[in-house]
Chains A and B, each alone.
Chain A
Amino acid sequence: MENIKTDLINILKKYTLAKDVWNDFNDNSSIVSDLKINSARIVDIVIDLEEKYDIEITDEELEKLTCFKDIVKLIDLKSIK
């Protein structure tokens, strides 16, 4: 789980324009409202994760990804399979 968190943070940092958002970062941080990542970029984050973990994230799953821990949980579940 910790490895997934580290990987995800590295991916998210590619799309984080306001660097100071990481000061108050925690597992409940929202991707769009807290990390101020452009909502259009969610699809790029999903593509990066799919390539990194050789998984496929469905449209329904994507719609439910709002905060950091949602993504970590989903990757953990999918990569175990």
Chain B
Amino acid sequence: MNKRVVITGLGVISPIGNDIESFTLSMRKGISGIKYIKELADYNFASQIGGVPDINNSEYEKIFEKFELNEADLTVKYSVLAALQAWGDAKLELPDRFSKNINEDYGAVIGSCAGGIELYTRKLYPMVSSKNVRKLGSQIIKNLMHSSTTSILSNIFALANQTISNSSACATGVESIIMATEKIKQSKANLFIVGSADPYSPYMWAGFDSMRLLARKFNDKPTQASRPLSASSSGFVAAAGAGMMIIEELEHALSRNAKIYAEIVGYEYNSGGQRNTASNPKRVIDCIKTALNIANISGKDIDLICGYLTGSQFDSREVANWKTALNLDKTYPYINSLKSLTGHTIGASGSIETIAAVLQLKNNFIHPSINCEDLNPDIKSTWDKNKIPQKLIKDINLNYIAKASFGFGDVNSCIILKKFN
């Protein structure tokens, strides 16, 4: 377990940018990607806003055609676009499709919360219901399995190590990174594509809307709707997208002169073991503490927390958990929420937000956590308000960032990223 694991490639499809450059620019400028969605109004949603990546362009169409993905589910499409970016960013060669060469040391752990629900509702359910099973064709199974994305990426990149799909609600993205990190640390692989995705699908978002969990008071002011840490938050804003990363064993990365963004030095996942939807704070705190122990640092070494922070009633509880887990007293690290810009990309959030963390660590900035000018009073009394950035912080040296994701079913995951020197 003494191998070191580093991040060498990034790719993103998100409501605030479909490439790392525009994604970074939106983060720095604090630009919201939340818009009014007429389809949700037509379906009588109380929340009629969301963060949806725009993938309608001819360049992407060519990619879908090349890899036979024209009919694919949105989860697969987002994932493939982001994975191709990450693969290219890591300066890895795209294998010849008809070559028999395979990468036995390369694998993939790609997750999703809702998987193929977009394809299910767009094609499978209507065709089976109208007795047209015979006309479904060959692409339904290929694109509808929970493992569809990993199977398709394995095909594109000739990945012949473990290729597996994980699902742990909103903790999925961080969990995928940890699963692959452990595999590399065990010397069972040299490189993994890791990440997660979830589609734009009213059918996925409807359940959250019915539970009154989605923001419903800002339909006329979409960019102000996602309000983590704010006193006036009315719920989270549903969103969609994918975040993909290349992670690899340090010596492997160095041997091919790869650009290194950050090192993954601490990690942990666990569950609350309760019978409630709400999280068990003890296990949240245990999760963060164990990640710190593995990183061999104390809570006071953390410079920035990229929180889970959805804009729900649980934000104040999360902030209190961080305070306990990091054993904070007088000095506090910065804390921000990418969801204030992107909305909550559900299963994709852990990986998209880890990419945001990596970019802040590498480029020495902290993005503003927008829409929390009216801080939640419980948070104001728990944390140093000056460490909740309302504006971009430039030229700040960051050494350690903690990123955590928590999810429905009481699941927790946390990683510690260290600047690579």
Contacts and interface: CB of A to CB of B under 8 A. Distances in A.
A40 B98 contact: no
B97 A17 contact: yes
Interface string A18-41: 100000000000000000101011
Interface string A43-76: 1100100010000000000000000000000000
A41 B138 contact: yes
Nearest to B137: A44
A56 to B, nearest CB: 9
B363 to A, nearest CB: 39
B35 interface: no
A43 B68 contact: no
A17 B139 contact: no
A47 B135 contact: yes
B183 interface: no
Contact of A36 (B68, B98, B142): B98
B98 A44 contact: no
A40 B138 contact: yes
Contacts of B142: 40
Contacts of A18: 97-98
A19 to B, nearest CB: 11
B97 A44 contact: no
A43 B137 contact: yes
Interface in B103-142: 134-135, 137-139, 142
B97 A47 contact: no
Contacts of B134: 47
A43 B97 contact: no
Nearest to B139: A44
Contacts of A36: 98
Contacts of A47: 134-135, 137
A17 B138 contact: no
Contacts of B139: 44
A11 to B, nearest CB: 13
A15 B70 CA distance: 11
Given A17-B97, A18-B98, A44 B68 contact: no
Interface string B188-231: 00000000000000000000000000000000000000000000
Interface string B37-70: 0000000000000000000000000000010100
B68 A17 contact: yes
Contacts of B97: 17-18
Contacts of A43: 137-138
Contacts of A51: 135
A41 B142 CA distance: 11
A67 B66 CA distance: 24
A40 B68 CA distance: 12
B68 to A, nearest CB: 7
Nearest to A48: B137
A41 B139 CA distance: 8
Nearest to B141: A40
A40 B137 CA distance: 9
Interface of B: 66, 68, 97-98, 134-135, 137-139, 142
Given A43-B138, A44-B138, 12 more contacts: A15-B68, A17-B97, A18-B97, A18-B98, A38-B68, A38-B138, A41-B138, A43-B137, A44-B139, A47-B134, A47-B135, A47-B137
20 contacts: A15-B68, A17-B66, A17-B68, A17-B97, A18-B97, A18-B98, A36-B98, A38-B68, A38-B138, A40-B138, A40-B142, A43-B137, A43-B138, A44-B137, A44-B138, A44-B139, A47-B134, A47-B135, A47-B137, A51-B135
7 closest cross-chain pairs (CB), A and B: A40-B138, A44-B137, A43-B138, A44-B138, A47-B135, A47-B137, A41-B138
